[in-house]
Protein backbone atom coordinates (compact mmCIF):
# COMPACT_ATOMS: atom_id res chain seq x y z
CA UNK A 1 0.00 0.00 0.00
CA UNK A 2 1.26 3.45 -0.86
CA UNK A 3 1.17 6.55 1.33
CA UNK A 4 -1.84 8.16 -0.45
CA UNK A 5 -3.86 4.97 0.00
CA UNK A 6 -3.02 4.82 3.70
CA UNK A 7 -4.04 8.47 4.11
CA UNK A 8 -7.26 7.90 2.19
CA UNK A 9 -8.20 4.86 4.29
CA UNK A 10 -7.31 6.77 7.45
CA UNK A 11 -9.61 9.63 6.47
CA UNK A 12 -12.41 7.20 5.67
CA UNK A 13 -11.90 5.51 9.05
CA UNK A 14 -12.09 8.90 10.82
CA UNK A 15 -15.33 9.72 8.98
CA UNK A 16 -16.88 6.37 9.89
CA UNK A 17 -15.85 6.93 13.51
CA UNK A 18 -17.41 10.39 13.45
CA UNK A 19 -20.64 8.95 12.07
CA UNK A 20 -20.67 6.27 14.76
CA UNK A 21 -20.12 8.94 17.42
CA UNK A 22 -23.02 11.06 16.17
CA UNK A 23 -25.21 7.96 15.96
CA UNK A 24 -24.26 6.98 19.52
CA UNK A 25 -25.17 10.45 20.81
CA UNK A 26 -28.55 10.31 19.07
CA UNK A 27 -29.22 6.80 20.37
CA UNK A 28 -28.35 7.92 23.89
CA UNK A 29 -30.76 10.85 23.61
CA UNK A 30 -33.47 8.54 22.32
CA UNK A 31 -33.04 6.17 25.28
CA UNK A 32 -33.47 9.09 27.71
CA UNK A 33 -36.69 10.04 25.86
CA UNK A 34 -35.20 13.37 24.77
CA UNK A 35 -35.68 14.82 21.31
CA UNK A 36 -33.00 13.55 18.95
CA UNK A 37 -32.56 16.94 17.32
CA UNK A 38 -33.40 20.05 19.25
CA UNK A 39 -33.25 23.63 17.99
CA UNK A 40 -29.64 24.18 19.04
CA UNK A 41 -28.32 21.06 17.34
CA UNK A 42 -30.21 21.94 14.15
CA UNK A 43 -28.79 25.47 14.27
CA UNK A 44 -25.25 24.16 14.85
CA UNK A 45 -25.57 21.74 11.93
CA UNK A 46 -26.93 24.47 9.65
CA UNK A 47 -24.14 26.90 10.58
CA UNK A 48 -21.45 24.22 10.22
CA UNK A 49 -22.76 23.09 6.85
CA UNK A 50 -22.93 26.63 5.46
CA UNK A 51 -19.38 27.46 6.60
CA UNK A 52 -18.08 24.11 5.29
CA UNK A 53 -19.79 24.79 1.96
CA UNK A 54 -18.09 28.17 1.55
CA UNK A 55 -14.70 26.75 2.50
CA UNK A 56 -15.17 23.80 0.13
CA UNK A 57 -15.81 26.16 -2.79
CA UNK A 58 -12.31 27.56 -2.31
CA UNK A 59 -10.93 24.06 -1.79
CA UNK A 60 -12.35 23.01 -5.19
CA UNK A 61 -10.80 26.12 -6.78
CA UNK A 62 -7.41 25.09 -5.39
CA UNK A 63 -7.97 21.52 -6.61
CA UNK A 64 -8.83 22.85 -10.06
CA UNK A 65 -5.65 24.92 -10.08
CA UNK A 66 -3.36 22.10 -8.97
CA UNK A 67 -5.00 19.50 -11.22
CA UNK A 68 -2.87 20.75 -14.11
CA UNK A 69 0.29 20.79 -12.02
CA UNK A 70 0.15 17.25 -10.57
CA UNK A 71 -0.02 13.91 -12.31
CA UNK A 72 -2.98 12.54 -10.34
CA UNK A 73 -5.83 10.75 -12.01
CA UNK A 74 -8.98 12.85 -12.20
CA UNK A 75 -11.09 10.32 -10.29
CA UNK A 76 -8.52 10.29 -7.49
CA UNK A 77 -8.62 14.09 -7.30
CA UNK A 78 -12.42 14.07 -7.22
CA UNK A 79 -12.40 11.42 -4.48
CA UNK A 80 -9.95 13.50 -2.46
CA UNK A 81 -12.22 16.52 -2.91
CA UNK A 82 -15.27 14.64 -1.67
CA UNK A 83 -13.36 13.33 1.34
CA UNK A 84 -12.08 16.87 1.95
CA UNK A 85 -15.64 18.20 1.97
CA UNK A 86 -16.67 15.56 4.50
CA UNK A 87 -13.70 16.37 6.73
CA UNK A 88 -14.52 20.10 6.49
CA UNK A 89 -18.08 19.43 7.63
CA UNK A 90 -16.84 17.33 10.55
CA UNK A 91 -14.32 19.97 11.61
CA UNK A 92 -16.85 22.79 11.36
CA UNK A 93 -19.45 20.79 13.30
CA UNK A 94 -16.95 19.98 16.06
CA UNK A 95 -15.84 23.63 16.16
CA UNK A 96 -19.37 24.98 16.57
CA UNK A 97 -20.26 22.20 19.01
CA UNK A 98 -17.32 23.20 21.24
CA UNK A 99 -17.37 26.98 20.78
CA UNK A 100 -21.14 27.33 20.51
CA UNK A 101 -23.27 29.77 18.61
CA UNK A 102 -22.69 33.46 19.12
CA UNK A 103 -25.77 35.65 19.32
CA UNK A 104 -25.70 38.11 16.47
The domain of 22 spans 3-99
Domain count, the chain: 1
- Answer whether residue 104 is part of any domain: no
- Answer whether residue 34 is part of any domain: yes
Q: What is the 3-state secondary structure (H, E, C) of the chain?
A: CCHHHHHHHHHHHHHHHHHHHHHHHHHHHHHCCCCCCCHHHHHHHHHHHHHHHHHHHHHHHHHHHHCCCCCCCHHHHHHHHHHHHHHHHHHHHHHHHHHCCCCC
The span from the CA of 92 to the CA of 51, in Å, is 7
User: Rounded to the nearest 10 degrees, how much is the dihedral formed by the CA atoms of 5, 11, 13, 18?
Assistant: -170
Q: Is the pLDDT of residue 104 over 80?
A: no
- The predicted-structure confidence for 23-60, as pLDDT tens digits, reads as follows 998 899 889 988 878 888 889 989 999 999 999 999 99
- Answer whether residue 14 is part of any domain: yes
- Give residue 1's pLDDT band: very low, low, confident or very high (50, 70, 90): confident
Amino acid sequence: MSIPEIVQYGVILVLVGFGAYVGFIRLKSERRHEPVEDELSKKILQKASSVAYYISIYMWLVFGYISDKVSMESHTLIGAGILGMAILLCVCWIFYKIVGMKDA
